[in-house]
Structure 1
Amino acid sequence: MSRKLLVDIHTHLYLPRYAQLLRARSQIPRITTLNGEERLVILAGEASTGRPVGPSYWDRNEKLRFMDTHGIDVSIVSPANPWLDFLPPAPAAQACEELNSDLEEYCATSPQLEGTRFKRLYGMAYLPVVPGAEVDAVCRSVESLGKLPHIKGVILGTQGLGQGLDDPVLLPMWETLARAGLVVFLHPHYGMPPSVWGAQENGHVLPLALGFPFETTTAVARLILTGLLDKLPTLKLLLAHSGGALPVLSSRLASCIAHDPVASSRPQHDARYYLGRMWYDAVAYGPEELAFVASTVGRAGRYAGNGKEPETRGTERLLWGTDHPFFPPLKGEAMWMSVTENLDAVKNAPGWSEVEKEGVRGGNAVDLFGL
């Protein structure tokens, strides 16, 4: 790749068909109108207010305008939570097929990036992973994505078919995803029980800043404990929000597993080894935090137990993102802090070479998604 690219791998959309589905609902999740303004309500604590929602959530021209304003060359868009979790199995399967077709068209008819082989937009698809669904139906949905050339991955929440992603029933889904070579973007939605945030009104700060990353941390720890990453060494897992608390708690997790007679025999390696088997978005908002994630991921080779896997810098496992269209500019500002702060984090990460920074900004995404 001769041209340096800025690639956004954490950027969401609500396709028009999906927005209409939410508008037709009377319960959370829904799009409702308050004081003449459409509001998106997807979390229990937002029931009376929601958040403003508009064209930036579904209009492709708005997505491209945002990209152009911030110098983003390519975006790999993913449907935003809560995906299809609220639908029964049959309607979810039908909606999944229709929405993935819409997503392919959204990407396939996007402009070509001038002077390159790249489209401006690629996608990560829905799967009908909802409570009560049959895993065979999910596998068929994965296989159907092979007919959609601009779909490069899938996005998954953490509830699975109702028992979480470590549910043994889901093993055929994971096997099918590994065979297909699709990136699996694990993204939170449910956070933690509202009771843990106390009686003080703090808006959505604690659920989003802490609840979402803790949800991802727990889901991935449960996957490690199943031995899934030993069974499927080619599975491509991409973790939202820089892996949540997993990097900082990985040694504690490893120690607890080693001392627990119930769990110690399940993973084939020290838990820290598996951090080097996954990828992470670089949505950490600070250079020190981002550098810590990279260094923690890079040391994973020392825990392989075979003396053959070297330590790395870890930067090759990080991919830049913006979380657009959430967290819009504050009043009086034109640029999105989620863009500028996460770009500054890469620019100022201590000890990183320019080659490493360029990889995080775009080259790693080109390689992982096979663009």
Structure 2
Amino acid sequence: MSQLIVDIHTHVYPPSYMAMLRARKTVPYIHDPSDGAEPRLIILSSDDDPATPLDQRGRPVDTSYSDINVKLSFMEKHGINCSVISLANPWLDFVPSDEAQTWAERINDDLESTCADVNKDKEKKPLFAFGALPLSAPSETVVNEIKRLTTLPHIRGVIMGTSGLGKGLDDPDLDPIWKVLEETQLVLFLHPHYGLPDEAFGGPEVINRYGHVLPLALGFPLETTIAVTRMLLSRVFDRFTKLQILLAHSGGTLPFLAGRIESCILHERKFIANGGDTPGPERSIWEVLQTNIFLDAVIYGSAGLQAAVAAGSHDRLMFGTDHPFFPPLHDEDEKWPSVTTNYQAICSCFGDEKADSIGMVLGNNANRVLRLGLE
């Protein structure tokens, strides 16, 4: 093998999950048009405007979302040697509490068996997975599922949205989950879904005018930034100093705003260190970025990637594609711009004189951090 390339940000909706979405009529759901047109996936509340015809809501969903062979073909086309697949948003957040454990076990067993079946064939690219969590259930149920995931050979971490158990990631009820993740050293892949309120962009009319640009380009990154900053402020990283988190989309705006966040903390009069009565974070955001946080390289430009490197380091970045989202809109045979721009950003950020750094970001970091055992 020449250059190892590992895709750590690549999603799949197992058939059982697709069936569940098809049975629903409220977000999230899949609409199958009666005229035989392509089904539509509606997972964002901003996509479910009653004024928009059903067959125009959300995004078209094809077999790339659920057929693992399409995933493998995508990997072959783009030179990817290994993928770490994960259930895409909104995961199991919407599942009733009394059904969450059953669905988590079903989805995670599906992911495990998919990886096991593919990896039996040495001619195919190997797969690993991040497990899904039953976050609508009590925290002890989530803890038990995390412990069970450590017994599944191809699970290398877990994926979670920013709502946690429903109250955000500064919720003290999440402490048992942080504790078991720290103890098992399973990496938490933190991914946005909820974005910002429509009003932040000017209301539904403005969002509809520009499609997905505002909620995805701005809402998702800011959601991640806010969620992690709330973790920092609530001293999660002080209590769980060995917690390991992988942030989607290069951490949103966190690397760029880290200095501003730290300055505001240092000047906040409410915190005990500054004469107030509220405990503030003891560890700096810089220390957390360099010891607790990994970033994917799904940023589509060298400027953002340079900020990610400056905030952490090149040995804490990992390549990703966000497949099957953002496919080419025209020629199906061409390579995906959403992938090639990430390749280009990595090469541009480091240059030929830093080939070792490029290699670390493209695959060697993931191989080391996620214990993939690739040669």
TM-score calculated relative to the size of structure 2: 0.90
Q: CA deviation at 1:225?
A: 1.1
**For 1:283-322, what per-residue CA distance to the aligned partner results, in whole angstroms no more than 9, with x for missing partners?**
111122212210122xxxxxxxxxxxxxxxx100100000
Please give the residue correspondences for 1:91-130 in structure 2 after superposition, counting only pairs within 5 Å. 91-111=99-119, 120-130=126-136
Contact 2:237 2:283 in 1 (8 A): no
Residue 303 of structure 1 corresponds to: none
**Structure 2 Cα separation of the partners of residues 30 and 143 of structure 1:** 30
Contact 1:288 1:350 in 2 (8 A): no
**Structure 2 Cα separation of the partners of residues 6 and 113 of structure 1:** 19
**Structure 1 Cα separation of the partners of residues 131 and 63 of structure 2:** 20
Q: CA deviation at 1:246?
A: 0.7
Q: CA deviation at 1:272?
A: 2.4
Matched, 1:294 2:313: no
Q: Which moved more, 1:44-53 or 1:200-209?
A: 44-53
**Structure 2 Cα separation of the partners of residues 368 and 273 of structure 1:** 18
Matched AA of 2:186:
L
**Structure 1 Cα separation of the partners of residues 111 and 232 of structure 2:** 31
SS at match of 2:188: strand
Residue 260 of structure 1 corresponds to: 268
Q: CA deviation at 1:74?
A: 0.1
Residue 10 of structure 1 corresponds to: 9
**Which structure 2 residue ranges, 5 or more long, are not aligned?**
274-278
Matched AA of 1:6:
I
Across the two proteins, how many residue pairs are aligned to each other?
Answer: 350
Q: CA deviation at 1:119?
A: 6.1
Contact 1:123 1:152 in 2 (8 A): yes
**For 1:155-200, what per-residue CA distance to the aligned partner results, in whole angstroms no more than 9, with x for missing partners?**
0001111211110011011100111111100000000001222233
**Which structure 1 residue ranges, 5 or more long, are not aligned?**
298-313
Matched, 1:337 2:332: no
**Structure 1 Cα separation of the partners of residues 118 and 238 of structure 2:** 38
**Structure 1 Cα separation of the partners of residues 173 and 331 of structure 2:** 50
Residue 365 of structure 2 corresponds to: 364
Q: CA deviation at 1:227?
A: 1.7
Matched AA of 1:187:
H
Q: CA deviation at 1:120?
A: 1.1
**Structure 2 Cα separation of the partners of residues 289 and 186 of structure 1:** 18
Matched AA of 1:7:
V
Please give the residue correspondences for 1:1-371 in structure 2 after superposition, counting only pairs within 5 Å. 3-34=2-33, 35=35, 36-47=37-48, 48=52, 49-111=57-119, 120-130=126-136, 133-198=137-202, 199-200=205-206, 201-263=209-271, 265-277=279-291, 278-297=293-312, 314-332=313-331, 334-350=334-350, 353-371=354-372
Matched AA of 1:74:
C
Matched AA of 2:19:
Q
**For 1:261-288, what per-residue CA distance to the aligned partner results, in whole angstroms no more than 9, with x for missing partners?**
3345422222222111210000111122
Contact 1:111 1:119 in 2 (8 A): yes
Q: CA deviation at 1:113?
A: 8.1
Contact 1:108 1:119 in 2 (8 A): no
Q: CA deviation at 1:14?
A: 0.4
Q: Using the aligned pairs only, state the percent identity.
A: 46
Contact 1:294 1:315 in 2 (8 A): yes
**Structure 1 Cα separation of the partners of residues 304 and 120 of structure 2:** 34
SS at match of 1:349: helix
**For 1:66-103, what per-residue CA distance to the aligned partner results, in whole angstroms no more than 9, with x for missing partners?**
00011100000011000011111111111001111011
Q: 1:252 to 1:113 in 2, by over 3 A?
A: farther
**Structure 1 Cα separation of the partners of residues 244 and 166 of structure 2:** 23
SS at match of 1:288: helix
Matched AA of 2:283:
H
TM-score calculated relative to the size of structure 1: 0.91
Residue 276 of structure 2 corresponds to: none
**Structure 1 Cα separation of the partners of residues 222 and 210 of structure 2:** 18
Matched AA of 1:16:
P
Contact 1:287 1:350 in 2 (8 A): no
Contact 1:73 1:113 in 2 (8 A): no
**Structure 2 Cα separation of the partners of residues 291 and 244 of structure 1:** 13
